[in-house]
Amino acid sequence: MAFEFTDDNFQESALSNGVAVVDFWAEWCGPCKMIGPVIEELATDLDGKVTVGKMNVDSNQAIPMKYGVRSIPTILIIKDGEVVDKHVGVTSKQALLDKINAQLQ
């Protein structure tokens, strides 16, 4: 199951050492609902290797603002506290997996 990022836990959960994938989404967002199952699958597939999770932009506004999230879904790939990749919109599981695996090498 995908991790639930919040403004309060983001620092320790996403910016610690290692790789994190953060899906910025909202309940009312159609494309977010399309990418949601992909994020859940990645969370299961990469359990123990990568922190994969979601952040609801309606209930958490500080972090999306800090990272300039203006459109959703926006997916950030963070490695060792730095954003190393960003994708806006719907994409395939394989495309995301390729981007994540590039950071695990």
Rounded average pLDDT per 10-residue block, the chain, 105 residues: 96 92 98 97 96 97 97 97 96 97 93
What pLDDT does 17 receive?
A: 78
Helix (H) or strand (E) holding 102: helix 93-104
**φ and ψ at residue 74, rounded to 5 degrees:** -120, 130
Residue among 14, 32, 57, 77 flagged as catalytic: 32
Helix (H) or strand (E) holding 22: strand 19-25
What pLDDT does 89 receive?
A: 96
Q: Which residue has the tokens 């639930």?
A: 4
What is the DSSP code string of 80-98? TTEEEEEEES---HHHHHH
What pLDDT does 9 receive?
A: 96
3-state class (DSSP) for residue 51? strand
48-70 residue pLDDT tens: 999 999 999 999 999 999 999 99
Which domains, and CATH codes, for the chain?
3-81 (3.40.30.10)
* Residue 32 annotated among the catalytic residues of the structure: yes
3-state class (DSSP) for residue 74? strand
Bridge partners, residue 87, by sequence: 75
What pLDDT does 38 receive?
A: 97
Specify whether the CB–CB gap between 65 and 25 falls below 8 A: no
What pLDDT does 3 receive?
A: 96
Residue among 15, 26, 29, 97 flagged as catalytic: 29
